[in-house]
Amino acid sequence: MKPLNNFILIDPILQDRTEAGLHLLENADTKDKMARGTVLAVGPGNRHGSEIVPLPVKEGDKVLFDPFNAAKVVHEGKTLALARESALFAIL
């Protein structure tokens, strides 16, 4: 799957523990809090006039993203996130 424009395909990392080591219960509340992930594919970038400006992330980057501004898509049996560049907070 190849994203278009400024879309980024992300494989979300589900966290089952907090950084302090507390175990998170798997329910609807915690399943939607996928805020980390690995970039699987990147669109060509943003159009600025006649020029295309590439996105700052590349395949394999670990990122923090807003799961509420990402579409959940199922590709080859795996649930992935499709987000615009603006939904990314940081490259880890």
> For every one of its 92 residues, what pLDDT tens digit does the chain have, with 9 covering 90 and above?
999 999 999 999 876 666 666 655 555 454 555 589 999 999 999 988 999 999 999 999 999 999 889 999 999 999 999 999 999 999 99
Q: What is the pLDDT of residue 33?
A: 56
Q: Give residue-wise pLDDT tens across range 26-52.
A: 554 545 555 899 999 999 999 889 999
Residues ≥6 apart with Cβ < 8 Å to 77: none
Q: What is the pLDDT of residue 30?
A: 47
Both structure tokens of 79: 């649930």
